[in-house]
Structure formats: C-alpha cells, structure tokens
Chain A
Amino acid sequence: MREEIFRMERVTRIERGMVRLEDFNLQVYKGEIMGLLPVNAHGMTAFLNLLQTNLPIRDGYVYYGGGLVNSWKESGREANRISIIQAQSCLVEQMTVTDNIFVLRQGYRQRMIRPGILQSQLEPFLRDIGIDLAADCRVEKLSVFERVVVELLKAVILGYRLIVLNEISTLISSRELCKLHHIMRHYAKRGFSFLYVSPHFEELVQLCGRVAMFSHGRIQKVLRGAEMDEECLRGYVEEYDSMVRAHLESCGAESEKGAPVLTVDGLTCGSLNRLNLNFYAGECVVIQNMDNEVYKDLTGLLTGALRAETGCFRMEGNPVEICGNRNAAVILEQPTRTMLFPRMSYMDNLCMGLSWRMPGVWNSFRIQKSIRKEYGKLLGEDVFDMQLEELDEKQKYQLVYMRVLLQKPRIVFCIQPFKGADMSHRMLVWKLLEMMLNKKIAVVILALNLADSISLAERLVRIGSDGSIEEISRDHFGTLSGDAPWRYLYREKSVKMTDGNVFRDFHKKTAEELGRP
C-alpha cells in the first residue's frame, strides 16, 4: 500500500464571504509527482495559501506527513513544511546560495558562519543532481533555472516532504524544464512528493503519474494511467478546442505577404547574435527562446531596458526603437498587473495609446463619447464608470488589448501572453490576439514554452542559446515534440491536407498510435 503524504478531505474555505474551495479532496502519495491542471483558477491562490499555512477552514480536514494538521474544529495557523516554488522567489537575493539554504532556516544555531563548511555541505547535493553552481554566489546573480533549483534543494535539505511547483514552465526554457523534470524524478525516487501545477495538459502528461483537474475551487476529476490522453482533456476544453479548430480551418493557403512591417537587422545583444528576422502584416510569429538568457535579452530590447550592441529594428528601412514607438506595441507578461495605470480612470487607460493620433482626446467630450459608444458594445457600458480596481480580470485583459488596438500599431509584441491565465482567460487572450491579426496587425509572441501561442502562429522561430535560429512553418507544427500543446490539431490538419479527407477523426489516429482499440 502506498504511503500517503498529504491529504485534503472535504475542505471548504471561505475568504471574505466568498467560497474559494468547496468539498476539496486531494491526496498525494510518497514519491509521487502529481499534476494539477487549473481549468479554472478560482480558488487556486486559496489552495496554495492553505498548503503553506493552516488557515481556518469551514469544513474538512488536512493531513500532512501522517498527522492531522488542520480541521474545521481547529486551525493553528502554523506554517506547514511544504515548499512552493513559483515566479515569486522566497530566497533573499542579496545573500549567497549557502546562506539562503543553511543560515536562513529555523533551527540554525551556529553563531559563527563558516562559508567553507556550508559549501562543502552543499556540494554533495549539487553533485547528486548534476548541477554546476557556485555555492558562494549571490542569488541575484543566478539564472531563473538556478534559482528554482536552489529553492528545490533548500526544500530537500530542510526535509520538506511535499514540494509544489507552480507554473514553472513560464519561467524557464524547454531545455531547462527537461533538466528540472529529471531532478524531480530523481528526488521522487528518494521519496519526495511533488505537486506540479501547470495549465498545460501536455506538460503534465510527460511528467506526472496522476493529474487532478482543478475547477471552481474543486477537484473535478483525477486522471490516471490510460485516462490521461488528450481525448479525455477535450471534454474540459471543448469550447477552446473548437475555437482553435475553427481558426485553423479558416486559415487558407499562404497569400502574398508583401513588404515586411518590421525587420530585425543583424541584432546583437548579450546572447543574441546577429539576429535577422522579418515580420509581415497580419501574421502571427512565435519566438521560442530555448535559453532563458536569450529571452531576457529580447525582452530587454523590446522594453528599452537594453540597447543593441550592433544591428537594429527597421520599419520601412529606417532604424527604429520598439519601446515608445507609436507603430509598435509591447504587451508585457501578466498585463493585468503590469500594463495598467491603476490610479487613472478607465477612459484614461483606454485612450493612452490613442492620444498620439488624437491629441484632443483628453478634453474632447465628443471623442470620448464616440469611443464610449463604439467600444461600449464590446466592453460593456458600465466599465467606463468603474474604478480600475473594481474591474474583474477579464475586463482588465480587454482594457489592455483594446488600448493597443486603439493605438493601431503595425506590430504587437506579446511577452508570454498566456502566463498566469486560466482557461477562460486564455481563451479571451486568444480571441483578442486573433482580433489583432484580423486587423492585419503583425503579432509576435515571445515564449519560453509553446503553450497556446502555437495555436495562433503561422511561423515558429526557435532561438538557441548559441544564437542559432530554426524556423518552422505551420505546416510542420505537427512534427513538433510531444509536449507541444495543440500539436494534435496540426497533425490533424496535415492529415487533411495530404489525404484530402476533410473530417477524418483525429481520435482514431491517436488511438492507433497508442495501440488502443
């Protein structure tokens, strides 16, 4: 019988009068890598908070390490020995790796800190997982992957039995993700348990033994073994699936592209080495960075934080800067947090990009009325009178993307547009991006993992750590590696194209491949 390490039984948690978790049941066994797929993110934060701290619950029980740690009768508010690794680091940036792991923990009793001894204590762990890392290096100097590994090592060394990894694939490159999965499997064999949260089923299937589907504060279903195929998932993402399918079917043969709206001309900066690319009107290109450094450099160039050593971006042959360019827009990752002006009105937020074309927008009621009338149908009349903090997530996404649409740029760079979004918001972002494409705006998606962006893309550009470039057109998306989301649709499409059989059932093909009846 498998040893249970963590269990939540019929847990109901209410926060500020709102039910966050309801009849929530979850079990994690010793040495297991369990997947958690948030179909809908409602209650996800409450769940993670409850994992870390034994907050009061309305109903149910929480067991960890074989004992009852929280129940509806009594909540001690103590912290659980569970580590959560996510975008927000729990390490102190200005301190060294060893200080973070050994010194900053409860029970460290040494008065004199001897770095040499601490480093020698850490070395076997690093050797064990095949990671080369300077133990005396300050955390701020580490790459994101190294930071994740240090957090994981800290959890292992402190003896935490359950380690939660929340949307890690949006932080590190595919190659690094593979390494991380390898490390996780290594520790799983040693009895550590993992809860791996990711919105991408394909990623979970590669790694996890079981996958729990989280929706509206509940575990809707736990998939295991043979149940974990795309067909099963399809039931949960049917609407999204059909939306992507419709988009793919509407994509005709490649038409004449004309002149590029933007050219990347021999751009060199940090890890980028003489990058040459062309982007055309109405085309969606995904730039997948196989290395985190490349991603950082590209993002830095787009946001104006970095300057190119050589080369430049060109529009109509003229060198241009992307940041602050009226013909180009950049949408940062998690735009509802990063792209809004929280202390300005809805209208001010919406018109920020428009003011270049219509300088009188701020004091012309006529223009504002016209915008309200036109966009009210799309965004809702009420939102214009709301304060920004009163908007829900969907309205915030709409606001950011509509602002960009009002600006009428020729090209939009989206940095990980689906990061942190649950299924409904991913669909919304997808639709908004499609709207931009329909308006003949070139959309360039910067991604570490392919995620949903691949479903919109016409071209995939992969930039390696050595600056090498691999371009893959849509027709060849079906040949991408197994963890690429929506791959099945492209394979389906390529089957259609080669066989001429328009509605050939993909499930049959998958079943055949898997050797199932």
Chain B
Amino acid sequence: MNSNRQSLWKRIMGVRGMGAALTAFVGLVIIYIAFGLINPTVFSGQNILNLLRSMSKYLLIGIAQSYVLITGNIDLSIGTQVGMSAMISATLMTSGISPAVAILVALISCLAVGVINGYLVGKFKLPPFIATLGTMFVTRGIAYMVNGNRNTDAISTGVGKEVADQFQNFFYYGSTLGVYNTFWIAMVVFVIFFFFLSKTRSGRHIYAIGSNIDAAKLSGVNVVMTTTKAYLVSSVCSCIVGLILCAQAGMGNMEAGNMYEMYGVAAGVIGGVSPLGGTGILLGTLAGAAVWQTLENGLNMIGAQVGIQRLVIGIIVVTAVLLDVVVRNGEFGKKKKKQS
C-alpha cells in the first residue's frame, strides 16, 4: 500500500511542470494568509467571491498564452483579440442583434485571427513575436473601426434591458451555487482545455513541437495544424474574456484587453509554464493566475499604491523565470553528477 502511494506520488511529481505548479500553490497560500493577517477582510466571503471572479479573467488569458508558450511560441495579439471580441459583440448587440449571434460573430472573428496566427507561424515560419505583433495591430485596428473609432453605447439600448441583463448576468454578474458565473465559465474552459492538453494526442503534439520541433516533424506531427490548434485555443479564450469584459461594462470599450497578453505570460510563467516551450501544465497556470490576482487584491486591501503593485508583480514574474532557468541548470548538474 505504502509503495503504491509512493509510486503515485512519484508519478504525480514526475509530470513536467508539476513541481512548479505546486510551488505556485504553496506560494498562493502563503501570500493569501499573509495578506489576511494584515487585513482580515481578505478572508471575508465576499472578498473571496470577488477574488475568484477577477481571477477567472486572468486564468482564461493564462490558458490562452500557456498553450502558445508550450509550443515554444508567443501570442501578442491576445489582448487585442479581447478588445476586438468585446467591441464586435457590443456593437452588434447595440444594433439590436441577439447576443447569441453577436457571440458567434465575435468567436468566428477571433478564430480567424487564430488561424492566421497559426499559419503565419507554423506554415510560413514567421517569428511568432513579429507575426502576432502584426495581428495585434490589425485586431486593435478592427476593434477601433467596428464602431467608427468610438466606444459603443450600452448594449441595453439595442437588445433591450432584459436581454442585456441576461447577457451580463450570464457572463459576469449572475451566480450559480453562490459563486459568480465568470468563475464557472473559466472552470469549464479550464477543464476542457486541461483534458485536451494532457489527455489527447493533439495535446502531446503541442508539447512535442515545443520540445523538439524537428523530431516532432519526423515523428509525423503536423506542425502547422498543431501550431494552429494552439493559437485557436488562445483565440477562443481571448474571445470569452472579451465577452466577460463586455458584460462587465455593459458596453464595448475599444481599449479593452490592453496588456492582457502580458498578464497571460505572467500567469503562465508564475505557474511554471516555460517560455522556452515544451514544459508546463494548466494546473500551474491556474495557480499563477490565482497568485497574480491574490497579490493584486491583497495589495489593494492593504492600501498599496498601483506602482507598488506593479513592482511586486514584476519581481515575482522575473523570479519565476529565474527559478525556471535555475531548475533547468540544476537538472543538468544533476545529470552530470549521476553519470559520475
């Protein structure tokens, strides 16, 4: 029995990125308790609910960026896709089109950007930084143009108050089982993409091309298709976040999602997703997003300035990446030691 338990523990710890994910979880607990001791309001039920809701956006963005990071690429257009999704859906709804159609159009638009990103990077071998930088400007441009370079009116002016409330409640204000719907949406997305990444062939292919793209090609992995799948996941998540922001504000904001691509990188990296590709699990991204949001929330609660908040978060991101590098180097050292 004991040996079984040991082997299970060993197996769990043997999963690449699990160590980093668990470290992030431990860090999360420590940070949360520390802030709670300074300001007990942090432990209040309402704060926890708010925390979960605001964490959900970062989790979705984190999933989006983690998928792409694991393939060894990056997606700089995530934030602008969020903005585009928010603007398209809001503009359509203010024109009286039903939310379902608006959501569908927003989703198709984001998926188109995902396909373009995937092909530019996978097929035409453009450096991902440059390719997605281009689509970043394009999608932000679309977000501006959709409503003639201005934010939209309230969505209730188009679809009516009742439908608008339904839309807003579904994505942001409503709750199920006492927890905000935003959290449940994020959890459903998380479970689906967690399963996709860890249990399916496509998931393994995503890891494979991040780990050794040449060997992956020779092993029959369709690099273009796999890269495109990763960018598509990124687009789906960005679209959902755009809808959440639209529901939160009740209107479309052209600048919605600004800098979100970097928040995604931060959530992934804090949770142990390697920016060099091939390593990381979405459980880590969950922890990373939670750490990020808890820090922001905690620093707010203790009255820290925005500058301080950014500074602390920046230091944590750099430390996480440094840790990744040190662990990699440590592993190399271990290897040599083993040989000896």
Contacts and interface: CB of A to CB of B under 8 A. Distances in A.
Contact of B279 (A343, A362, A392, A403): A343
Interface residues of B, number: 37
Interface of A is mostly: loop
A395 to B, nearest CB: 12
A468 to B, nearest CB: 29
27 contacts: A16-B340, A303-B214, A303-B217, A323-B218, A325-B220, A330-B218, A339-B212, A341-B211, A342-B211, A343-B277, A343-B279, A344-B16, A344-B208, A344-B278, A345-B15, A348-B208, A352-B204, A352-B208, A352-B216, A352-B221, A355-B204, A359-B201, A362-B204, A389-B334, A390-B338, A403-B219, A407-B220
Contacts of A325: 220
Contact of A363 (B11, B199, B274): B199
A387 interface: yes
A303 B218 contact: yes
Interface of B is mostly: helix
Nearest to B279: A343
B209 to A, nearest CB: 9
B200 interface: yes
Contacts of A1: none
A348 B340 CA distance: 27
A355 B279 CA distance: 20
A343 B214 contact: no
Given A323-B218, A352-B204, A389-B335, A342 B199 contact: no
Interface in B269-290: 274, 277-279
A439 B220 CA distance: 21
Contacts of B15: 345
A18 interface: yes
Contacts of A472: none
B203 A362 contact: yes
B14 interface: yes
B207 A353 contact: no
Contact of A332 (B16, B218, B278): B218
Interface in B309-340: 331-332, 334-340
Interface residues of A, number: 36
B5 interface: no
A340 interface: yes
A140 B99 CA distance: 57
B100 interface: no
B320 to A, nearest CB: 17
A345 B203 CA distance: 14
B264 interface: no
Contacts of B95: none
A324 B210 CA distance: 17
Given A17-B337, A342-B212, A362-B200, 6 more contacts: A303-B218, A304-B217, A324-B221, A339-B212, A342-B278, A343-B210
Given A348-B204, A362-B200, A390-B335, A341 B218 contact: no
B14 A385 contact: yes
A344 B211 contact: yes
B232 to A, nearest CB: 20
Interface string A50-69: 00000000000000000000
A329 interface: yes
Given A343-B210, A362-B201, A363-B199, A353 B219 contact: yes
A326 interface: yes
A337 B199 CA distance: 27
B111 to A, nearest CB: 24
A324 B208 contact: no
A341 B278 contact: yes
A341 B217 contact: no
Contacts of A17: 337, 340
A345 B204 CA distance: 11
Contacts of B175: none
A260 to B, nearest CB: 22
Contacts of A342: 211-212, 278
A90 B11 CA distance: 43
B123 to A, nearest CB: 13
Contacts of B216: 341, 352
Given A342-B212, A344-B16, A362-B201, A356 B335 contact: no
Q: Which of B222, B279, B340 has the most CB of A within 10 A?
A: B340
A473 interface: no
Interface string A406-421: 0100000000000000
A332 B217 CA distance: 12
Interface in A275-322: 303-304
A516 to B, nearest CB: 43
Contacts of A340: 212, 215
Contact of A339 (B200, B215, B331, B332): B215
B20 to A, nearest CB: 12
A345 B16 contact: yes
Nearest to A352: B219
Contacts of A363: 199-200
A17 B340 CA distance: 7
Contacts of A392: 339
Contacts of B274: 343
Contacts of A324: 217-222
A387 B218 contact: no
Q: Which 10 A-B pairs have the closest CB atoms?
A: A343-B278, A18-B340, A341-B211, A363-B199, A389-B335, A343-B211, A324-B220, A343-B279, A352-B219, A339-B215
A338 interface: yes
A343 B14 contact: no
A22 to B, nearest CB: 14
A392 B334 CA distance: 12
A217 to B, nearest CB: 13
